[in-house]
Structures are given as C-alpha cells and as structure tokens.
Structure 1
Amino acid sequence: MAMANKGAKRKIAWGITGSGDRITETVEKMIELQKQYDDVVDVRVFVSKAGEQVIKYYKLFNTLEKHFDKVWVEINSNSPFLAGQLQVRRYEFLLLAPTTSNTVTKIALGLADSLLSNAAIMSQKAFVPTYIMPCDYAPGILTTILPDGSEMKLRIRKEDAENVDKLRRTEDVYVLETPEEIAGVFEQYFSRH
C-alpha cells in the first residue's frame, strides 16, 4: 500500500466511464462512503469524455462537484496525468465504476488509448490494485434504469462477459458486480481495526 504522511488523507482515484447502468446507485454509494470515511479518505473523481456525457444526461455532474473536492474530465489519454500519479503510487487504488464494455475490452487487451484504460494499465504495471465494476459481467439480459425512471433491457453479449472473465484472471485487478461491493473495498483499506 502507498505510504501516507501521518494525519494526511489517503487518496483513491475513482474513474467514471460512459456507462449509465447503475450510475445513479454508484454515485450515491460513493457519496455515502466519502462521508463515512471523510477523516481518512480523499476521493478524486476522473471522468472519461463519454462519462461526462452520461453524467450530464443523468443530471449528476453538479452532484459530483458538490460532494467531491476534485472532479477532472478527460482531455486525452494522459491528461489529466492520472497514469503518472498512479505510477508513483499517489493513490491507494484505482476504482472504475461503472465501466463500459468498451473500457473493459481495452483493459483486457492492454490498450491504453483513453484516460481510464491508460490509468488501469499503468496501475497494473505499478502494482496498484484496480477495482472494476463492469456493466456487462455475465451473459444474459440486463434491465437498466434511464434518467426518466423508465427501464431499458439490454443484451449482455458473451464476448463482453469473456473480457470481464479475462480481467478476473489479471493480477491486481478485482471485479465488482454491484455498487454495494465498493463498501467492502473501503472497509478493507480504511477501517480502523
């Protein structure tokens, strides 16, 4: 784990991709966890270009800015300089939640051509744990909630689920299936025992 100055808050990097599936629940869970661990954790939010569109579509951008000190939006694969900060272990871990099948595929294939895929690849190289909550983790039909509250059914392709399985077998990468599982990660790192 990263070394922290005594009394200094420990940082985590939370990446948001362009998935609307469980985005509202994930934002609510992260706000709850930031409040619960506010004395020890500083959550820094990194939003992909597609993530910015989705966050605004769900009317959550102002909510993020209100509850988190730092919210950055992707300019390119290396700006903001998240990969470099992960390389020098400024963060305890990288959390990507929710994560599109596009980003999952890039990470599974080792492609670092976007802010969050680049960050995930660098975190693996630098021995920084990466927690990923994919939207498409098992083949079948998924029901997601749209911003107006209506439901939409989506097919989870076996190809997308196979990429998630590849991530499960990757060293220092941990797959989460629900926003509730994020609380367990925080407890593992930040609870006082």
Structure 2
Amino acid sequence: MKKTVAWGITGAGHFLTSSFRIFDQIKNEHDIRVNTFLSSAAEEVVRMYGLEKDLETISCGDYLEEIFLETQQGKSWPKTGRFLLEKYDALIVTPATSNTVSKIAHGTADSLVSNAVAQAVKGSVPVYVVPVDIAGVVVSELPFGIDRELCRKCNPCPPKDNCPNNAIADQIDLLKCNGCGLCKELCDYNAIKGGPVELKVRDVDTRNVEIIKNLEGITVLEKPEDIPGILADI
C-alpha cells in the first residue's frame, strides 16, 4: 500500500533547501504521497528562497498530496483532524524552528504545524522532528541581501530595474522577494549575496530539544539527510 507522509515546514532558512532536496529524493525513489503543512512564517521563507515551484512538484495537489497554508486554514486547523483518522504513516517536521520546538516541548498547539504535531501524537502517528537549533554553533544559509559596502548605488541599477517583484530599493524587501536570484546575476559588483552565517544556539533552545527527545511518540533527527533512513520503519 502506498505510504502517506505529512511534511510540516516552519519558518527557518537553515535546513530548508536540504529538506526540499531530501523530499524530492523520497518522491523519486519511493511510492509515497507527501501532504505538506506550512506555518505562516514558512509561507514567507519558502517564497524568499524561491522554492514554491519545487514544493508543487513534491505535493502535487491531489488528495493527501495537498499543500495546506496556515494563513488559509483558520484558527481551528480543521485539516489536522486527519491525523486522528489513520490517514498518515508519519509526520516529519523539517526544518523545525526553535519557536516550534518550544511549543512542542511545552504542549502548545497554536499554529498549524504545532497543532499537527499534537494531533499526530493523539492519533498515534509517529512524529519526526529536525530542529534547526540543537547545540553549539550552526551554519545557516541567508536569503538574498545587499552588501552596502560593495554596492555602488548605480543609476540605472540593473538588479532593481529588472526585479520581477519590485523587491529592491535600498535593500531587498524579503516579503516581496521570491528568491529567483536574477538580481545577483545582474549585479556587476557582486554586492548582492545570500550565503552562510554562523549562529550560536541558545541554551534554552538546547534544553527544549532535550525535552522533546523524551516525549512519547516523537523522535528527533539531527539533519534532513536522516529522513530516508526512517522510511522502512513507518
């Protein structure tokens, strides 16, 4: 029988592209359906990183392969009721922000993804979580931005004039940016960048990860690349 996995995405850039790559791999290598749940922050971040079209290839829109957006689901999250109806073989949350991990750790279910986790546990659906902040220092990939030390304030400015979403002024408006990368290609001075940055993990976030490791029905994975290894167990 075809397996059905629910994928919860929260608003983190770290692990985002690798999570998409892994789910694309899963779809290509296994007979599996993927039903995606996006937090409101994830809706914005997926767009910033230019991954909206990629998501549509992973969750095509058919039954149990839909894309559910928090901003379109109301406050009662009716679609999470499916976790009580034996529709899913697993819920995988990746990337999971420190905010979402905190909610899971303390039993809060006031967002689409945190509510999905709560309903999945109640429905005995195994939950796998990939936190972005586990311990120590993480290297995260930033969306596109303008390096003001390199910017020559050209007039005309090819990146600004050719941006399909009019997202560029003195800086890049990330709520308009769709992550296409055209601006970076058009800047002659390499002033538009998106790249790695080191971030220190707060001790409170590390403690919350330890809490959810001990919660019934929840397994913590260290990275998205661990996901294919769990498919045989679901």
Which interval holds the TM-score relative to the shorter structure? 0.7 to 0.9
Please list the CA deviations of residues 40-85 of structure 1 after superposition, one character each: whole Å capped at 9, or x if unmatched: x101111111001110111001111133212221134433x33200
1:15 Cα deviation after fit: 0.5
1:163 pairs with 2:212: no
Which aligned pairs between 1:23-34 and structure 2 lie closer than 5 A? Answer: 23-34=16-27
Residue 18 of structure 1: SS of its match in structure 2?
A: coil
Alpha-carbon separation, structure 1, partners of 2:222 and 2:198? 18
Q: 2:122 aligns with which of 114, 125, 136?
A: 125
Q: 1:49 aligns with which of 32, 40, 50?
A: 40
1:87 Cα deviation after fit: 1.3
State whether residues 13 and 94 of structure 1, in contact with CA within 8 Å, keep that contact through their aligned partners in structure 2. yes
Alpha-carbon separation, structure 2, partners of 1:143 and 1:167? 22
Alpha-carbon separation, structure 2, partners of 1:124 and 1:133? 16
- Where structure 2 has 5 or more consecutive residues not aligned to the other structure, the ranges are 61-65, 144-192
State whether residues 77 and 112 of structure 1, in contact with CA within 8 Å, keep that contact through their aligned partners in structure 2. no
Q: 1:78 aligns with which of 76, 79, 88?
A: 76
Match of 1:4 in 2: none
Alpha-carbon separation, structure 2, partners of 1:117 and 1:162? 18
Match of 2:55 in 1: 64
The ranges of structure 1 where at least 4 consecutive aligned residues each deviate by more than 4 angstroms after the TM superposition are: none
- CA-based RMSD of the aligned residues comes to 1.4
Length-normalised TM-score, structure 2: 0.72
1:86 Cα deviation after fit: 0.3
State whether residues 10 and 42 of structure 1, in contact with CA within 8 Å, keep that contact through their aligned partners in structure 2. yes
Among all aligned residue pairs of Structure 1 and Structure 2, give the percentage whose two residues are the same amino acid: 37
Q: 1:136 aligns with which of 116, 133, 136?
A: 133
Alpha-carbon separation, structure 1, partners of 2:99 and 2:109? 12
Aligned residues: 178
Which aligned pairs between 1:101-116 and structure 2 lie closer than 5 A? Answer: 101-116=98-113
Rg: which structure is higher?
2
1:17 Cα deviation after fit: 0.3
Corresponding letter in the other structure for 1:46: F
1:35 pairs with 2:32: no
State whether residues 105 and 160 of structure 1, in contact with CA within 8 Å, keep that contact through their aligned partners in structure 2. yes
State whether residues 43 and 69 of structure 2, in contact with CA within 8 Å, keep that contact through their aligned partners in structure 1. yes
1:20 pairs with 2:13: yes
Corresponding letter in the other structure for 1:65: E
